[in-house]
């Protein structure tokens, strides 16, 4: 089992990673009451549910920008920094964009924890940004009882090649590029009950950039893309279905889970964010009767730095699987619109 460390970062926050995200139902109510001014330069903003904002500059070029930060999802500060940076960069890749530079966002109990911990967090983020080929050029920090870290990432994209989480076509194949279950493992890490094998597998997955997947997709026909994070697989698939005015069919047995996830879930390592996701999605999803309550929760597990969820024609889907390989999986398809947006069989 995971050994105790002198300072366990996951014990210093009320949640872990994207499981701290405000639930989709609550967020919809908040944003639904905002009065937003219209700007002709805004290509993607509050008018959709895409992964990043897109703004057209005077020269016609498109700038995309995203911001992501969260509380510790692992205990090692350097790994926390790497995961948080990979998670933020993912939104740019999910839009088909090229990241340009980033800014740090930091909350840290500067008088309660060694400053060396914050240095390690920032170094993890800097090294992951360097892997992505971009500099971190500054940032903002506050004294906060709960450690938090993330990035504002700015990128660019050719408008005609920009991917959205709408535009899926009937009979498209759905691919997910990373295994599921980081929410379960993060909860188990916080409780100090996750095995070293599960922790290692989760860290490896979460700290992996979605850069290679995006580069392979660049040469294919892509109809819709999003990255799977706090709202879980089905929460982000719902956004694709709503934006495309179609439904989707997911085969549960084709879903790929990180080692040890089911066993940890059976022991009750389910985050509050995951439970909120499922409660919200009950009106949009029809589950096959053979699927247990636990199966349903696993499909809405709140992910951190998850994979790309891609909707594309069958021929292109097969090419992607051939070039990318494991752990990408074909998990379902887009179907004509039905009363339930998503069918899990």
**What was the pLDDT predicted at 242?**
96
Q: How many residues comprise the chain?
A: 345
In the chain, residues under CATH classification 3.90.650.10 are 173-344
**What was the pLDDT predicted at 130?**
98
Residuewise pLDDT in 10s, the chain (345 residues):
344 347 899 888 776 554 566 766 777 787 777 787 888 878 877 766 666 788 888 877 899 999 999 999 999 999 999 999 999 999 999 999 999 999 999 999 999 999 999 999 999 999 999 999 999 999 999 999 999 999 999 999 988 889 999 999 999 999 999 999 999 999 999 999 999 999 999 999 999 999 999 999 998 999 999 999 999 999 999 999 999 999 999 999 999 999 999 999 999 999 999 999 999 999 999 999 999 999 999 999 999 999 999 999 999 999 999 999 999 999 999 999 999 999 999
Query: Closest Cα partner for 151 from 139, 135, 167?
Result: 139
**What was the pLDDT predicted at 50?**
63
**What was the pLDDT predicted at 3?**
40
What gap in Å lies between CA 26 and CA 112, rounded to an integer?
32
**What was the pLDDT predicted at 21?**
63
**What was the pLDDT predicted at 54?**
87
| 3-class secondary-structure state, position 151 | strand
Q: Classify domain 9-161 at the CATH class level.
A: alpha beta
**What was the pLDDT predicted at 48?**
63
Residues pairing with 107 in the sheet:
142, 148
**What was the pLDDT predicted at 20?**
62
Cβ atoms of 143 and 115 closer than 8 Å: no
**What was the pLDDT predicted at 149?**
97
- The DSSP annotation for 81-147 comes to HHHHHHHHHHHHHHTT-EEEEEEEEEEE-TTTS-HHHHHHHHHHHHHHHHHHT--EEEEEEEE-SS-
**What was the pLDDT predicted at 314?**
98
**What was the pLDDT predicted at 11?**
86
Chain-centre distance for alpha carbon 190? 20
Cβ atoms of 84 and 125 closer than 8 Å: yes
**What was the pLDDT predicted at 244?**
97
What gap in Å lies between CA 250 and CA 341, rounded to an integer?
11
Tokens of 90: 């993912």
Cβ atoms of 91 and 68 closer than 8 Å: yes
Residue located via tokens 């040469």: 219
Q: To 5 degrees, how large is the angle CA 43–CA 45–CA 47?
A: 95
In the chain, residues under CATH classification 3.30.1330.10 are 9-161
For the domain spanning 173-344, the CATH number is 3.90.650.10
The pTM assigned to this predicted structure is: 0.90
| 3-class secondary-structure state, position 227 | strand
DSSP label of 3: P
- Find all residues with CB under 8 Å of 46, minimum gap 6, and list them: 31, 34, 36
**What was the pLDDT predicted at 287?**
98
| 3-class secondary-structure state, position 318 | helix
Cβ atoms of 145 and 110 closer than 8 Å: no
**What was the pLDDT predicted at 22?**
72
Sheet strands (E) in 298-337 = 308-312, 329-335
């Amino acid at each position: 089992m995971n050994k105790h460390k002198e300072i366990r970062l996951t014990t210093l926050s009320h949640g872990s990673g994207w499981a701290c995200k405000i639930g989709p139902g609550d967020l919809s109510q908040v944003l639904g009451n905002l009065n937003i001014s219209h700007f002709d330069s805004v290509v993607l903003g509050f008018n959709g549910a895409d992964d990043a904002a897109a703004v057209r500059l005077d020269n016609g070029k498109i700038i995309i920008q995203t911001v992501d930060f969260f509380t510790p999802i692992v205990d090692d500060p350097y790994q926390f920094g790497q995961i948080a940076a990979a998670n933020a960069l993912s939104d740019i890749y999910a839009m088909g964009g090229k990241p340009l530079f980033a800014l740090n966002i930091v909350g840290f109990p500067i008088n309660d924890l060694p400053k060396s911990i914050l240095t390690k967090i920032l170094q993890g983020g800097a090294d992951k940004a360097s892997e992505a080929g971009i500099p971190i050029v500054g940032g903002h920090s506050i004294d906060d009882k709960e450690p938090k870290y993330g990035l504002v990432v700015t990128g660019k994209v050719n408008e005609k090649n920009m991917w959205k989480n709408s535009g899926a076509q009937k009979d498209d194949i759905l691919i997910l590029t990373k295994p599921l279950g980081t929410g379960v493992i993060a909860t188990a890490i916080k409780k100090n009950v996750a095995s070293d094998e599960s922790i290692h597998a989760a860290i490896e997955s979460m700290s992996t950039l979605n850069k290679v997947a995006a580069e392979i997709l660049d040469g294919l026909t892509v109809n819709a893309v999003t990255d799977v994070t706090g709202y879980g697989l089905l929460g982000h698939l719902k956004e694709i279905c709503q934006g495309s005015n179609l439904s989707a069919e997911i085969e549960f047995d084709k879903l790929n889970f990180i080692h040890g996830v089911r066993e940890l879930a059976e022991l009750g390592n389910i985050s509050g964010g995951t439970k909120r996701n499922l409660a919200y999605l009950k009106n949009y999803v029809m589950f096959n009767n053979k699927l247990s309550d636990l199966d349903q929760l696993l499909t809405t597990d709140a992910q951190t730095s998850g994979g790309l969820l891609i909707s594309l024609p069958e021929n292109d889907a097969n090419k992607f699987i051939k070039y990318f390989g494991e752990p990408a999986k074909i998990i379902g398809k887009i179907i004509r619109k039905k009363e339930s947006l998503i069918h899990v069989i």
